[in-house]
Structure 1
Amino acid sequence: METILQIDENFIETHTNFIELVSVLKDAFKNNKTIVPLRHHHDFPNPSVNADSTLLLMPAWNPSEDAGVKLVTVSPKNGDFNLPSINGTYLYLDAIKGTIKAILEAKSLTAKRTAAASALASSFLSKKNANSLLMIGTGALSSNLIKAHASVRPINEVFIWGRSLEKTQKVCNLLKNEAFNIAPINTIEEKISDVDIISSATLSEVPLVLGKHLKKGQHIDLVGAYKTNMREADDETIIKSSVFVDTFQGGLKESGDIVQPLQNGSIQQQDIQADLFDLCSGNHLGRNHHEEITVFKSVGHALEDLVAANYYYKKFTNV
C-alpha cells in the first residue's frame, strides 16, 4: 500500500506564496472543470457550552486527475478552552485509485485558500492603486487576509481592530516585518472611512461594517458570518454596493450577509453581480468605475480546498 503523506501546519505556513496560490485558484475558476457537490452542513447541539457546533463535509474532484474531501468542525465557544473555533482535516485522494495520497492539516489550508480567494476577488474588484486596508477580526484568518491582499495590491498601511487588544497587538507583532505599516485601532469608526479595502473575518451576529461610514471607491471583503443568523455588514452596505460572491451555489444560501437582505427585500437575487467563475472567465469584468463601492462575500468552496491541497502536495513532493 502506498505511503500516506502527512502535510502539517508548519509546512503549509512556510511554503505559501500568495501570488502563486491566487494564480492557481484563478486558473481553476476560469477552467471550471472541478465537480463540487453542495457541501454537507450539519449543526448539532453542544449544551455544555450553550451553543451549536457545526460539521462541514466538502468533497470535490476532477475526474481521473485529483480528488479530496475536507472535514471541518466549527465550535464558536472554543475560545473558552483557548482553542481555535475551526478545526479540520483534508483528505487528498488519488482520483483514479481512490486511495489516500495525503492528509493535510485543514485549518492552515483553509486559512490560506480563503485568504487567496479574497485576494483573487480583490484583483477584480478593488481599485488597482488601493494602498490601505482595515482588518476587522484577529483570528487565524486575519494575518493571512492581510498578506494575501497585499500580494495583489500595493498595500502600505494596515489598521486592525478586534475585541481583544491583546490579540490585536499579537497580529501586529506577527506582521511587523512585512513591507507595510500595521497598527491597532480602538474603534472601527476611526478608520473605516479612510481606507481603500475593508476585510472582515469574524463570527459576529451584529453588523460591524455600517454603510453610513463607507466612501466611494471602497472594496469590502466579507469572510466571516458563515451562518444565516450572522452578519458582518448591514443592509445599507449591501444596498449601496455592487455585490459579488465566491459562488452562487453557496453565497446565496449560507450567510446572513446575503440571505437576510434577500429575505427582507433590500436586494433581489438578480442584484448579485457575479461570482468568481464569472470574474475569472471574463464573463464579468469586475469593478466598473473608480467611485463604485464593491462587496465580495465569501463562504468558501470545495474547489478552493482541492486546488490548495494539490498546490501543497506538489510542493511537498517537488512534483
Structure 2
Amino acid sequence: MRMITSEDVAMNLPWKALIRRLGSVFREGVEAPPRHHHALHRPDGEATMLLMPAWEPTGYIGVKMVNVFPQNVDQGVPATAGVYVLSEGRHGRPLACLEGSELTRRRTAAVSALAAGELAREDAETLVIVGTGKLAPMLIEAHAAVRPIRRVRIWGRRVAQAEQLAKAYADRFETEAVEGLEAAVEEADIVSCATLSTQALVQGAWLTPGTHLDLVGACRHSMRESDGECFRRGEVFVDTYAGARGEAGDIYQAIEEGVFAFDQIRADLAELLRGERSGRSSHEAITVFKSVGAALEDLAAAIEVWEQLETAV
C-alpha cells in the first residue's frame, strides 16, 4: 500500500482536473452511507470523529476518518485532521493511504468552485473571503479556476492573518484585507465563508442582486455563518440533501426562525449537473450554496490523486 503525503496530494490535485472529476462523480453517483459521527469528550471541550465510506458500483472503494477539534483554533492548530484509505474495487485490496487534511480542504474548495461554475454569474470578478483558516487560500484558487476573479477581499477576526493572506496573493489578484465586512459584501460578486462561527457573520440585507453566497462552515446545528435573511432572499442549493438536512447549521437555524423550509431548496449538485433542475433564475437573482461535505467528494479526490500518480509512473 502506498503512503501519499500532503505534498503529493497537493501536487496531484490541479484545480480544473479535480473540479471535472467531482462533476463526473456527482453526475454518475456512488454508494455513500450516512457518515458516522462519534462524540469525543475531551478535557478542553467536545470533539468529533467522523467516518465517511463511499464506493463505486464496480470501481474504487474508500473511507475517510476525520477528527474535528474546534478548540484547536485557540491554540493555532488546524481544527481537523484525518486520513483516507483507497482500495481497488475488484478484490478490495488497499491501494493507498492519503493524508486527509490536504485532501479535504482541496476537495471542499473544489466543490464550492463546482457550484459557483453552475450558480455564480459568468462575469463574477470580485471575491470576498470570510475567514482566514486553512481553507481560505484554497477557496481563492478554486473560485479563480471557474470565474474571472480579479479582486479578492479578505475578512477575518484575526486581522494580521487576513493581511498575510492578502499579501500572499497580491501578485495574482488585486487583494485587500478589510475590516468592514458589510461594505465588502455589498460590493462582492461571490462571498465565500469558511469559519467555525456560531454567530451570523453575513447578513442577507447586505447581499446585492446577482451575488453568489458560498457557505462552507457551520457543520453543526449550533453553528452559522449567515442569517435567515440570506435564505429568505436567496435561491438555495446544497451539495447533498442528506448533508443539508442533517448537519447544515445555517439551514437548520433559518428553519427554526421560520424564514425558510427544507422543501424550498431548489436543487442539489447532482440535479444541477445532470440538468434535472435549473440554476440561478436570472442575472439579478441571489444564489446561496450550502455545503457540509460528502463521502463521494473525498472518493473523487482520492481517485484523482491516485490516477494522476499512476499516470506519472
TM-score relative to the length of structure 2: 0.97
In the other structure, the counterpart of 1:6 is: 3
Q: What's the secondary structure of 2:112's corresponding residue? A: helix
The structure 2 residue matched to 1:281, chosen from 274, 284, 294, is: 274
What displacement does 1:192 show? 0.8
Q: Does 1:141 align with 2:135?
A: yes
Query: Partners of 2:211 and 2:107 in 1: how far apart?
Result: 23
How far is 1:12 from its partner? 1.9
Query: What's the CA shift string for 1:270-317, capped at 9, x where partnerless?
Result: 211000010010011211101100000000011010000000011122
Identical amino acids, percent of aligned pairs: 40
Partner of 1:236: 229
Mapping 1:111-190, distance limit 5 Å = 111-178=105-172, 180-190=173-183
What is the aligned partner in structure 2 of residue 37 from structure 1?
A: 33
Say whether residues 1:312 and 2:293 are aligned partners: no
Q: CA deviation at 1:14?
A: 2.5
User: How far does residue 264 in structure 1 lie from its aligned partner after superposition?
Assistant: 3.2
The answer to whether the aligner puts 1:271 opposite 2:267 as a matched pair is no
8 Å contact 2:86–2:302 — kept in the other structure? yes
Q: Distance in 1 between matches of 2:198 and 2:77?
A: 20
* Residues 90, 104 of structure 1: 8 Å contact kept: yes
Q: Secondary structure at the match of 1:52?
A: strand
Q: Output one character per residue of 1:131-159: Cα deviation in whole Å (capped at 9) or x when no partner.
A: 10000001111100111111110000000
Counterpart Cα distance in 2 of 1:165 and 1:264: 32
Q: Is the CA contact (8 Å cut-off) linking 1:124 and 1:285 kept in structure 2?
A: no
Structure 2 match to 1:197: 190
Letter in 2 for 1:210: Q
* Number of equivalences: 312
What is residue 226 of structure 1 aligned with on the other side? 219
4+ aligned runs moved over 6 Å, structure 1: none
Superposed CA deviations along residues 20-74 of structure 1, whole A, max 9, x for unmatched, are 1111111111112x1000001122222x22x210111000001331010000011
**Separation in structure 1 between the aligned mates of residue 58 and residue 117 of structure 2, nearest angstrom:** 31
Structure 1 window deviating more from structure 2 (150-159 vs 91-100): it is 91-100
Equivalent residue for 1:72, pick from 66, 69, 73: 66
The answer on whether the counterparts of 1:7 and 1:316 sit within 8 Å (CA) in structure 2 is: no
CA RMSD of aligned residues (A): 1.2
The answer on whether the counterparts of 2:123 and 2:148 sit within 8 Å (CA) in structure 1 is: yes
Secondary structure of 2:304's counterpart equals helix
Partners of 1:18 and 1:263 in 2: CA distance: 37
**What residue ranges of structure 2 are gaps of 5+ in the alignment?**
none
1:172 Cα deviation after fit: 2.0
Alignment equivalent of 1:217, drawn from 210, 217, 227: 210
**Structure 1: tracts of 5 or more residues without a match:** none
- Look up the match of 1:56: 50
Partner of 1:318: helix, strand, or coil? helix
Q: Taking structure 1 as the reference length, what is the TM-score of the superposition?
A: 0.95
Equivalent AA in structure 2 for residue 26 of structure 1: G
